Amino acid sequence: MIYKIMLGIGLTIIIIAGLSLPMVEIPKFWYEMPIVPGLGDKARIIFFHVPTAWVSVIAFISSLYFGIKYLRTKEFVNDIKSSTAASLGFLFCILATLTGAIWAKFSWGTYWNWDPRQTSIFILLLIYGAYFTLRSSIENEEKKATLSAVYSIIAGLTVPFFIFIMPRIVSSLHPDPIVNPQAKIHMNPTMLTIFLISLLAFTGVYLWIFILKIRVLNLILHHKMKEHE
């Protein structure tokens, strides 16, 4: 219960603060944020877009983790966790792609321009898509669990290659002042706080839905087991 209230408060804060706090040239008061050169109010998307991308990556990693755990233990719960994480990851991945594309339209003039981060999220979408296509085309539950875990491990192993290859093939259009290769964040404390609360709150939302879905699926599984006994 506390958890849900905290989540509610967190999300309210970021929506109100993220959208309404003024952006000025040189912030003087605690509630003012710095203007990002060339972006203006469009920079506010960072509070909503970056966390969705962040969650889709977290979900991918946890799906991978539970997949490996399934292969080791052969316990069905782990497959349920793995596929649930993947389905949420897929959802957030779509959100990240859409919010990113809308923003790109207003900043760079086109919805899509193969910048490294767009390409990365696109590849993540492809992997998720392949993962669910694979799952839907295997009937045997055990085989489905095993093969999809194996596939996500192989897919996970190719991700580091992209991180290495991408920057050398295409150059980035992503707003350097905010997110740059050196991982320096040019934000004032106010902006950073809202940003971090936002990351936290989105991760919280993800965990909340994740736990709910696991509970439902576990109930279904137990019910099925009882029927067969």
Partner 1 sequence: MIKYLIPIIALFQKDFKSEIRTRYALNALVMFVITTISIILFAIAYETPPYEILAGILWIIIFFSAMSGMARTFISEEEKNTVMTLHIITTPITVYFGKLLFNLVLLVVINCFSTVLYILLMPNFSIKSPDIFIITLILGTIGLASTSTIIAAIIAKSNTKGTLYPVLSFPILLPLLLEVIKTTKLALEGEYFQKAIPDFQVMIAYFIVITTSSYLLFDYIWKD
Partner 2 sequence: MLKIEAINIKKSFGSRKIFSNINFSLNSKNILGITGKNGSGKSTLVKIIAGIITASSGELRYILSDKVLDYSEINKYYGFVSPYLQLYDEFSAFENIALISKIRNIYVDEKKIQQLLERVGLIDRKDDYVREFSSGMKQRLKYVAALYHNPSLLILDEPRSNLDSEGISIIYEIINEHKLNGSVIIATNDLEDIQICDSIIDLDKISNSK
Binding site for partner 2 (CB under 8 A): 140-142, 221, 224-225, 227-229
Instruction: Quickly list DSSP for 126-156.
Output: HHHHHHHHHHHT--SHHHHHHHHHHHHHHHH
Is residue 172 within 8 A of residue 180, CB to CB? The reply is no
For the CB of residue 104, give the shortest distance to partner 2 in the complex, in Å: 45
Q: Does 162 bind partner 1 (CB under 8 A)?
A: yes
Instruction: Name the binder of 214 from partner 1, partner 2, none, CB < 5-8 A by kind.
Output: none
Q: Does 71 bind partner 1 (CB under 8 A)?
A: yes
In angstroms, rounded to a whole number, what is the distance separating the alpha carbons of residues 87 and 142?
Answer: 19
Q: Does 171 bind partner 1 (CB under 8 A)?
A: no
Instruction: Quickly list DSSP for 39-96.
Output: TGGGGGGHHHHHHHHHHHHHHHHHHHHHHHHHHHH--HHHHHHHHHHHHHHHHHHHHH
- Of residues 119 and 146, the one with the C-beta less far from partner 2: 146
User: Candidates 26-34, 56-64, 125-133, 192-200 — which segment interacts with partner 1 by CB under 8 A?
Assistant: 125-133
As given in the structure block, the two tokens for residue 205 are 């939302």
- Of residues 150 and 207, the one with the C-beta less far from partner 1: 150
Which of the residues 84 through 103 are near partner 1 (CB under 8 A)?
none
Instruction: Name the binder of 205 from partner 1, partner 2, none, CB < 5-8 A by kind.
Output: none
In angstroms, rounded to a whole number, what is the distance separating the alpha carbons of residues 78 and 104?
Answer: 38
- Of residues 165 and 220, the one with the C-beta less far from partner 1: 165
**No. of H helices and E strands in the chain?**
6, 2
Write out the residues near partner 1 by the rule CB under 8 A. Answer: 71, 123, 126-127, 129-130, 133-134, 137-139, 143, 146-147, 149-151, 153-155, 157-158, 161-162, 164-165, 168-169
